Amino acid sequence: MIYSTVRAFNKGGLHSETTSNGVTIDNSAPVVVTSPTARDGVSSVVANTTISRTALSLHWKFQDVESSIERQCLSLSSHLFGEIDSSNLKIPGFIREYTYTNLDLHDGSKYKMKVTACNMAGLCTTAATGDILVDSSKPKTGSFAIETDHGRKL
């Protein structure tokens, strides 16, 4: 805490004094508590994959003890630098999850989301998901090769 004291004198030599309530100096950026990850139940049972080509739901958590988190910026990008129908978003600092909707994701592509959290002092920290694979294709039925020669080499 830094305090400021002001003393004012009049021509008669009398003075009055007041001290501020104090100001906290924050020189530390927010800390990542939980890195951004795809939410269970909306994405897939397999980690870092999603079965939806139109929605992607994520959650994360930042913390800043000295000053609160003022704002966050979200960005979604493709590993192939393809076009995505989504722009960078600015959201309030208290939000811990977000669902992108009306996307046009491509099967077999990997996507990454970055979250940048900035505190009241203007200091920022960025965290990103790992690659999130999009796979909305249906499984294909296989077969057993019991009666063939190459079946024994499996």
Whether residue 50 contacts residue 69, with contact meaning beta carbons closer than 8 Å, is answered with: no
Residues 9-48: pLDDT tens digits?
Answer: 999 989 999 999 988 788 899 999 999 988 765 666 777 7
121 assigned to some structural domain: yes
Residue 49 CA, distance from chain mean position: 17
44 assigned to some structural domain: yes
Please tell me the total count of domains within the chain.
1
Domain span at 95: 31-134
pLDDT band at 82 (very low <50, low <70, confident <90, very high): low
Whether residue 117 contacts residue 65, with contact meaning beta carbons closer than 8 Å, is answered with: no
| DSSP state string for 64-129 | -SSS-EEEEEEEEEETT----S---EEEETT--EEEE-S----TT-EEEEEEEEEETTS-EEEEE-
5 assigned to some structural domain: no
On the question of pLDDT at 154 being above 60, the answer is: no
State the CATH number of the domain containing residue 91. 2.60.40.10
94 assigned to some structural domain: yes
